[in-house]
Amino acid sequence: MFTVVTPNTDKRMAEIVDKVRQGERLNLEDGVYLYESNDILTIGQLANEVNLRKNGKKVYFIENMSLYFTNVCESHCAFCSFRKDQGEEGAYTLSGEEMVAYVKQHITPGVREFHIVGGHNNHVPFQYYVDSLKALKENFPHVTIKAYTAAEIEFFTRLSGLSTKEVLMRLQEAGLESLTGGGAEILSDQYREKMKVEKANVDQYLDVHRTAHQLGMKTPTTMLYGSIESYEDRVRHMLQIRDLQDETGGFQVFIPLSMQPRNKNASIMRRNSAFEDLKAIAISRLMLDNIQHIKAYFINIGVQLTQVALAFGASDVHGTILKEQISHAAGAQTPEGLTLKELIWLVKGAGRIPVERDTFYNELKVYE
Ligand code: SF4
């Protein structure tokens, strides 16, 4: 029979394919081998098989709004173009009331999640961060509050003198229901030192999520790839996440975040290639057998590539967002948000079934 597919004669790859098909876990060497391979179609097909087994053809998204209370930050992470010093042009810190007014002006009736992140602003007390959430919850009680990265939580412990658990409980009382996944970058202390990641270290990042899971929260997690890290660093990052997931079961989704190019302090001059972005999605799907969803984040990789990523293991396309700021400050050339209609088009165009979800992946509407 005529076939255009070249038979795969790579023995090492064949071993990995067998392992995945038999439900065996991939190890560090397997992950690095996949990253070093250029056989993107085999890797993608395998990730697609795993995803179809886990999620069928369903692809999830949420109608949400990204909110940024402050861009003032005590840290100077080399890759960050969002932060400002207090008093610098463009620096801002919104009160709860100001944010409520902004939301009232822009919210659409379907929004069911606020996604809140910001700078580590030490010119305001911890109570400011508590009151910010309280103001939103009081005015929009039906909207889930997913707020603050693990790095922000670690900053709050220093700001307040409270323990991680106490900080999280105070925020929960104010309306916090889930953390955001950022702040992980690459979970390697050596990388963090080189990239001047002036925030939570590896153990602190993991410990905040562990504590949140122990308090009953489900959280997302991320990996910011595409700068100085090695393939081994990336795989070790995923293995640490996988180990914590074995312990707590609290991660709902893993989000590979493609580094954006406007990072003069980190000497990053180029965008990741589409090839690299697709491999990051597919290899995450293959390594993280205990996390339900891998997210393709259109803000960082673009709408068209997000569509392709759905055939490479991704089962989530984030949400409507409205107006993204952090990646756009770093040079993202993608839309700042998408409408519900556009998200449905994106998913259907890839031959998948769009499913509108809440923060906790409960299905709200299936667009057959
Ligand atoms: S990445 Fe976060 S902590 Fe680092 S400088 Fe930017 S806003 Fe501050």
The model's pTM is 0.94
Reported as a single tens digit per residue, the pLDDT across 181-202 is 999 999 999 999 998 899 999 9
CA of 79 to the centre of ligand 1 (A): 8
Closest Cα to atom 4 of ligand 1:
77
Tokens of 162: 């409270």
CA distance 141 to 252: 23
Return the pLDDT at 265. 59
Rg (CA), the chain: 20
CA distance 313 to 52: 8
CA distance 83 to 8: 47
For ligand 1, which residues put their CB under 6 angstroms from it? Answer: 73, 75-77, 80, 82-83, 119-120, 151, 199
Give the residues of the chain that fall short of pLDDT 50. Answer: 1
Reported as a single tens digit per residue, the pLDDT across 272-315 is 999 999 999 999 999 999 999 999 999 999 999 999 999 999 99
For residue 229, say whether it is annotated as part of any ligand binding site: no
- The residue extents of the domains of the chain are 39-357
For residue 298, say whether it is annotated as part of any ligand binding site: no
- Are 33 and 11 contacting, i.e. CB atoms less than 8 angstroms apart? no
In terms of CATH, what superfamily is 39-357? Aldolase class I (3.20.20.70)
| Length of the chain (residues) | 368
Give the single-character DSSP code of 26. Answer: P
Return the pLDDT at 190. 95
- Are 247 and 196 contacting, i.e. CB atoms less than 8 angstroms apart? no
CA distance 173 to 7: 58
CA of 356 to the centre of ligand 1 (A): 31
For residue 360, say whether it is annotated as part of any ligand binding site: no
Residue showing tokens 């090695």: 230
CA distance 253 to 201: 21
